[in-house]
Homo-oligomer: A and B are copies of this chain.
Amino acid sequence: MAHVLDEFISQPASDTEVFYKRPLPDSCIAFSSKEGKTIFEEALLSGHMESYFKLASQFRTQDEPAFCGLSTLVMVLNALEIDPGKVWRRPWRWYHESMLNCCVPIAVMEKEGITMDQFIFMAENNCLETRLTYVDETASLEAFRAVIQKYTKQDESVITLSYSRSVLSQTGDGHFSPVGGYHPSRDLVLILDTARFKYPPYWLPVSLLFEAMQAKDNLTGKYQKFILYVT
């Protein structure tokens, strides 16, 4: 079952309707806005942007509207400097979405995205150790925040999340993104959203993100999850 079709879902664009990005909802603060820059500076000084630099070095736009899972994984693999052991463009070994076809043909992923199971399978098949946590109705906001707080202060591991865009008042629904940083006193988290043709990177409240992760996925009927990668 596809999980990451979000760029097509809940925005029944006609065949002729096209967009130049979407307005970022008020719940989100754009990374490059004046306020976003202030938040970044304060977060940096707080020590919770340690996780930012490796990921920012590999921040990318997903090559296809359904590739949020694939592109998030490519970001993580290149940020954590995993050598794929195979050539992308001669003479370079490097990760690209087109090389993550170990369980589903790329043409199928272009149409249907990937499931969380496929996401994890591909990560582990490419030398990443993963720790999966479901955010269901028994989950604790405090425990979630503690993970965000802990892992934004280091750069050996990366947190990726799946969440419901609709809870954030964004168009679409189930979506994958890496976490870029944290602002402690305002309790904001930085999302490095790979659908950059739609939304820029943004800060949003941890509590709202938590809510967006508690929403069941429309397609799979499952709870959202977050994954911690450890090399």
Q: Does A88 contact B (CB under 8 A)?
A: yes
Neighbouring B residues of A198 by C-beta, 8 Å: 92
Q: Is A9 an interface residue (CB 8 A)?
A: no
| A54 interfacial contact with B, CB 8 Å | yes
The number of chain A residues with a CB under 8 A from chain B is 44
For residue A47, give the distance in angstroms from its CB to the closest CB of chain B.
10
In the complex, A142 has a CB within 8 A of chain B: no
In A39-89, which residues have CB < 8 Å from any B CB?
40-41, 44-45, 50, 53-54, 56-61, 64-65, 78, 81, 83, 87-89
Complex A-B: 20 CB contacts under 8 Å: A18-B92, A19-B92, A20-B83, A20-B94, A32-B53, A40-B53, A41-B44, A41-B45, A56-B59, A57-B59, A57-B196, A57-B200, A57-B201, A59-B60, A64-B89, A65-B89, A65-B92, A88-B197, A89-B197, A93-B197
